[in-house]
Structure 1
Amino acid sequence: MTKRYKYLSIITLLLAGVGVLSCIDPVGLPIRQVEPRLVVEGLITNEPPPYVIRLSYSGAFSSTNPTPDELVVQGARVTIAEEGGRTVTLEQDPLTPTYYWMRDTTFRGQVGRRYALRVELPDGTRYVTAPELLAEVPPIERLYAEFRQQPEGSREPDHYQVLLDTNDPPVRGNYYRWSGYGYVPHRSTGERLGFAGICCNWCWIPIYAPPTNVLSDALVNGNRLSRVPVLSSPIYTVGRHYLEIRQYSLSREAYQFWRRFEEQRQRTGSLFDPQPASIEGNLHREDQPERIALGYFGASAVSKARLEVPGDTLSVHRYQLRYGDLFTPEGNCLRLFPQSRLSPPSPW
């Protein structure tokens, strides 16, 4: 695009804007001013500890400073209580103060028991949850991947769609949630080491699928859940993919919370649509139950399965002809991708 054409385009847009403003009265958009609210995120499972609870206040944040100091909940007393059993106290992380850890190895979530979270702020304000049931979860019966090719001309990589099969128990009222992570191969130009050649032009980088998609057995009670999509594993270069999927049980209340969360996350609309309402969770003030915190404290049983995708059905030559150096950045692979590794995870 030439400079002259660019300037003409800008002038045309400005004139069009002036014409619109001359016909339409200005609209004053509402700016939401809200009092900061407590935000909680955490989970106890039937796996060995540690368990972690994340506490913060709602407010403005940025990618460079995801939790400003004024939004950190400092010095709270956080406990998890097993109904009819023990109560354990969590410790605040001195380096990442939004995290409170439970590291007592003698305390572990048990299927069929209920667990409650209690948070006491430095000013004495107390927040509590109703006891949350840690329900049983069926095992993952089968985990597999299918190749998905992007349309011609796409600048997004092809990927493996990871799917699972599991059997829903015959009892009604089962709710599920999935997450996944893994390591996939990636190339870079590497780092020159003089006469020694090139270092670090190949590594395995981590990928994550946050636990967002949820499912109820209302329509499939007692039947097999087949081909549930749980992870998209991008193919930046031809090689093996090492993947792990975790299947969580949910209480009915947790399912409803995460379903609303996912609906709001996927919502699209215009500038003039109503602002989305905050999704309230299960933590409320002890003295004022109508004062509800944001986020959710849950209890889940976990089943997991691992999958190794060989990648041997793809042609390195054809893949390079299709994408060239599109996914080959310049530099040391380990420095380009945090938490990457030069060798694949072993054993898997």
Structure 2
Amino acid sequence: MRHYPNTLYLFLTLLAGLSACVEPVALPIRQTERRLVVDGLITDEAPPYLIKLTYSGNLTSSLLIPEELAINGAKVVVADDAGKSVLLEQDPLNAAYYWVRDPSFRGQPGRSYTLFVTLPDGSRYQSVPERLAAVAPLDQLTAQYHTQSSILGQPDAYLIGVDTQDPPTPGNFYRWESVSYLPRWTKYDPLHPPISNGLSSFCYCSCWVPYFGPLTDVLSDALLNGNRISNRIVFSSPIYAVGNQYVQVRQFSLSRAAYQYWTLFEQQRTRTGSLFDPQPASIEGNVHAVDDTTKLALGYFGASAVSQQRLTIPGDTINYNRFLVRYGNEFIPPDQDCFQAFGQAQLIPPAGYPPR
């Protein structure tokens, strides 16, 4: 066996020298000027309508907006092109939320709507007028059972499809919002927790938990003008327990500018880190400073007509015993009730859905 003592010595010496030269460096965090962020929508449904105003910054996954980012004390007005306007009411519990509650101010197809915002420091912003276009009626929803790979431990799902007839006039744009109320199992009823008696017997109790689809599912009729949109999949509703699922899909009309905004938003959301991804950038919308139209806010103020459908998916299409054999307790939180384990849980199914 041959040895290379000189080579090994030189290598160890070089490694020690490099280690001695490495020191932690605290890089300064780049500070950018905070900007107004607008998120709101006027529809042809009955009020209330919500306009959310914040400053740009780091948001957590919590539903609560940090106090330093909420815009408290703004004056917010929405006006239409017929001269009617409404002053929004600030939410007493969440400073970033401003509401249109006047029942007489309801969006109408064909009208244009403009948002006016005066910030607490006196700076003024307004949106580009947004035309509220009519929307095609949404037909009955469909649900297809989709089997996921058991290796990845993902639940199976119902793929929710929509049907609608695009009008013969070109230039129609669509967006879909979806939510399903999923049955979930927990180890005990939150209203009747188990008695600590040394026994390990628990009941598997159900509650229903909302599960929301993406907000960025959009479509242009550029390639299908005047044709039928058939079984377009807009939502994947996971199956965590055997029981009825309650699904709602809302179909929105969009202006061309709103369609372009949501398309860009989706591109940013689905970036995978490849060389072909678009460069990340702040997504500027249709709201600008009154004194300087080049100073743009983030987010978008929209106006849309809405058509919605609801669907009840019966749980008896799934074999209970096979489901338990396949998943066991995988989707059941340990030693928690529904309120502890799931946000926005409710103990009874939601009302207003068609019978199964």
Q: TM-score range by the shorter chain?
A: 0.7 to 0.9
TM, length-normalised to structure 1: 0.87
Deviation at 1:333, TM superposition (A): 2.1
Q: 1:328 to 1:232 in 2, by over 3 A?
A: same
Deviations, residues 92-143 of structure 1 (Å, cap 9, x unaligned): 1121111001100111000110000000112221101121000000111231
Cα distance in 2 for partners of 1:29, 1:83 equals 51
CA contact (8 A) 2:187 2:203 kept: no
- Partner residue of 1:98 out of 96, 99, 102: 96
RMSD between aligned residues? 2.7
Name 1:247's counterpart in structure 2: 251
- Partner residue of 1:339 out of 340, 344, 350: 344
Q: Number of residue pairs matched? A: 326
Secondary structure of 2:317 counterpart: coil
Paired letter, 2:48: P
CA contact (8 A) 2:268 2:278 kept: no
TM, length-normalised to structure 2: 0.85
CA contact (8 A) 2:267 2:278 kept: no
Matches within 5 A, 1:50-199: 50-63=48-61, 67-190=65-188, 191-193=193-195
Name 2:236's counterpart in structure 1: 232
Q: 1:65 to 1:84 in 2, by over 3 A?
A: closer
CA contact (8 A) 2:41 2:50 kept: yes
- Partner residue of 1:207 out of 201, 208, 211: 211
CA contact (8 A) 1:184 1:206 kept: yes
Cα distance in 1 for partners of 2:270, 2:317 equals 34
Deviations, residues 297-331 of structure 1 (Å, cap 9, x unaligned): 00000000001111322101111111111011122
Cα distance in 2 for partners of 1:178, 1:29 equals 43
Secondary structure of 2:321 counterpart: helix
CA contact (8 A) 2:126 2:290 kept: yes
Secondary structure of 1:74 counterpart: coil
CA contact (8 A) 1:79 1:90 kept: yes
Deviation at 1:270, TM superposition (A): 6.1
Larger Rg: 2
Cα distance in 1 for partners of 2:37, 2:111 equals 25
Secondary structure of 2:316 counterpart: coil
Consecutive unaligned residues of structure 2, counting only runs of 5 or more, are 1-11, 20-24
Deviations, residues 226-246 of structure 1 (Å, cap 9, x unaligned): 121111111111111111100
Cα distance in 2 for partners of 1:213, 1:28 equals 41
Paired letter, 1:326: E
Paired letter, 1:342: L
Secondary structure of 2:73 counterpart: coil
Cα distance in 1 for partners of 2:350, 2:66 equals 35
Deviates more, 1:246-255 or 1:334-343: 334-343
